[in-house]
Amino acid sequence: MQTGFKYIKNQEKTVYYNKAGQMQYGQQQLNGHWYLFDSNTGAMQTGFKYIKNQKKTVYYNSNGQMVYGRQKINKRWYVFDTKTGALK
């Protein structure tokens, strides 16, 4: 049974399997970090994303982790709420 983060080469995506071996979808808090997995494919998301049910834009770094505070992204500075990760 697979658990944890796994890269599926033939689909070019990173997914996460919980302790029961089930692929995870949507927002997940793992090891103290928030991640977003596609609701259909389970692919880990990166970059700017709008979280519709929370009405906020957040940013997931190249490791898939939501960022907080002042961040330099593509040579521009952004400020994200230190608790919610919402773009200010």
CATH number of the domain residue 8 falls in: 2.10.270.10
Put residue 20 in one of left, alpha, beta given phi > 0 → left and psi -120 to 50 → alpha.
Answer: alpha
Residue 87 maps to a domain: no
Domain with 74, as residue range(s), is 4-80
Residue 88 maps to a domain: no
Residue 85 maps to a domain: no
What residue has token string 């983060």?
Answer: 5
What per-residue confidence (pLDDT) applies to 71?
98
Q: Which two tokens stand for residue 87?
A: 């773009």
Residue 86 maps to a domain: no
Q: How many domains does the chain have?
A: 1
Kindly state the DSSP code that residue 9 receives in the 8-state scheme. Answer: G
pLDDT band at 35 (very low <50, low <70, confident <90, very high): very high
C-alpha angle 3/59/82, rounded to 5°?
100
Q: Which pTM value belongs to this model?
A: 0.94
Write out pLDDT tens, residues 18-28: 999 999 999 99
CA distance 33 to 21: 20
